[in-house]
């Protein structure tokens, strides 16, 4: 038997759904040690689902930050760092880009 878990992420707007194949498990004949999930398999499954969800959330959030909030023009990308977020399900390493401010308005800082 083969079990495949797919995560389908549907946006609030009309964009098409994104499907991630999160986890695949192959099982042989039924025995005590092949019944259900093992602890390490359950952890891998949870990690894969968490990863798919976080990846899509970060992608959407970063796409929303590209446009200048004042005029809507695309801002230039200055630098990218990695930030660490600790959650109940483990440590997440996320991209954290720095954007230049648009010249359409005066800002106190440069980025």
Q: Which of 65, 85, 103 is the last residue of a domain?
A: 65
Query: What is the domain range of residue 92?
Result: 69-111
Residues 87 and 56 in one domain: no
Q: What is the pLDDT of residues 29-67, one digit of tens each?
A: 888 888 888 899 988 899 889 988 898 889 888 888 888
Q: What is the pTM of this model?
A: 0.74
Kindly report the three-state secondary structure assignment for every residue of the chain: CEEEEEEEECCCCCCCCEEEEEEEEECCCCCHHHCCCCHHHHHHHHHHHHHHHHHHHHHHHHHHHCECCCCCCECCEEEEEEEEEEECCEEEEEEEEEECCCCCCCCCCCC
Residue pair 22/52 in contact (Cβ under 8 Å)? The answer is: yes
Residues 54 and 73 in one domain: no
Residues 58 and 86 in one domain: no
What's the total number of domains in the chain?
2
Q: What is the pLDDT of residues 78-108, one digit of tens each?
A: 888 999 999 888 888 998 898 888 888 887 7
């Amino acid at each position: 038997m083969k079990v495949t878990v797919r995560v389908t992420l549907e946006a609030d707007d009309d964009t098409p759904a994104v499907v991630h194949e999160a986890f695949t498990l192959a099982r042989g004949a039924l025995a005590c040690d092949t019944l259900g999930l093992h602890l390490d398999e359950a952890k891998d499954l949870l990690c894969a689902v968490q990863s798919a969800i976080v990846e899509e959330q970060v992608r959407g959030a970063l796409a929303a930050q590209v446009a200048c909030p004042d005029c809507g023009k695309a801002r230039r990308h200055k630098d990218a760092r990695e930030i660490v977020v600790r959650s109940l399900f483990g440590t997440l390493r996320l991209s954290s880009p720095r954007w230049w401010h648009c010249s359409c308005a005066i800002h106190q800082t440069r980025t």
